[in-house]
Amino acid sequence: MRDKVALVTGGGAGIGRAIALRLAEEGAAVVVVDVDEEGGAETVRRINSDADRGAFVLADVSVEAGAREMVDSAGRTFGGLDVLVNNAGGAPEPHFPEADPEHWLRTLDLNLRGVMLSTHFAIQAMRRRGGGVIVNISSMAGIGYRTHDAPEYAAGKAGVVRLTATLAPLKEEMGVRVNCICPGWVETPAVQQALAGMTEEERMAQSMPPPAVLIRPEEIADAVVLFVHDDTLAGRVMLWPDDGPQRLVPVDAAH
């Protein structure tokens, strides 16, 4: 990762922060993107405590201008872009269909439109560098046919999985490898707070029977590094349920 430039969306906390810190440890210059200025600045402070190779961009990835600016900023600050991690996401209450369309459309924009916008502008920058790596952080919420209490979130994450598989040919066309990680429940403050407010019946309905098995953010960061380093993988989806080990789904078997 030496002399490489990485960009992590939603890097101000949780999974995004763990990924940003790990990429910096690997030697990359890291652009941290978030709408949370304080959280993003803290991630950069931690990166720069070891080496001066972190920068923060305040941007909303679900807006075209924000996605364009963060990629342009990587070029201005560090000279280009080699790795994009599409991590920004979320599903604030209330959910579809109780929520107003303006609210649930915002969730779709963040979880799917933002990934597509970021990928669009990143590909343009990576082509100028001769290739690159994109890792999408989706969710097990987007896999299978189980119910989910945030349908707009599940639909958006399912779209990210399908997008990843369809972009597999970019590896041969322009040297850009796109892969995806679908974790179950991850041990972040937001998840811990949500679990604390759940009844046992609600946990069972979400396939989270006690005792909870939570994936650590650092484990997700390790998986990102795997995808960055392994140039044989493209269009792959890593399924990582909270009750079992991760496994890779080949592009020709993702259906």
Active site residue 145: no
Measured between alpha carbons, how far is 211 from 123 in angstroms, rounded to an integer?
A: 42
Q: Which of 153, 185, 227, 240 is catalytic?
A: 153
- Edge-to-edge strands of the sheet including 237-240? 54-58, 29-34, 5-9, 83-86, 132-137, 176-183, 237-240, 247-249
DSSP state letters, 158-189: HHHHHHHHHTTTHHHHHSEEEEEEEESSB--H
The C-alpha R_g of the chain, in whole angstroms, comes to 17
Non-local (6+) Cβ contacts of 80 within 8 A are 5, 74, 125, 128, 129
Reported in sequence order, the residue ranges of 103-175 that DSSP labels E, i.e. its strands, are 132-137
Strand partners, 227: none
Nearest to 29 by CA among 10, 61, 51: 51
Q: Are 36 and 42 in contact (CB under 8 A)?
A: no
**Helix H or strand E encompassing 15:** helix 14-25
Positions marked catalytic: 153
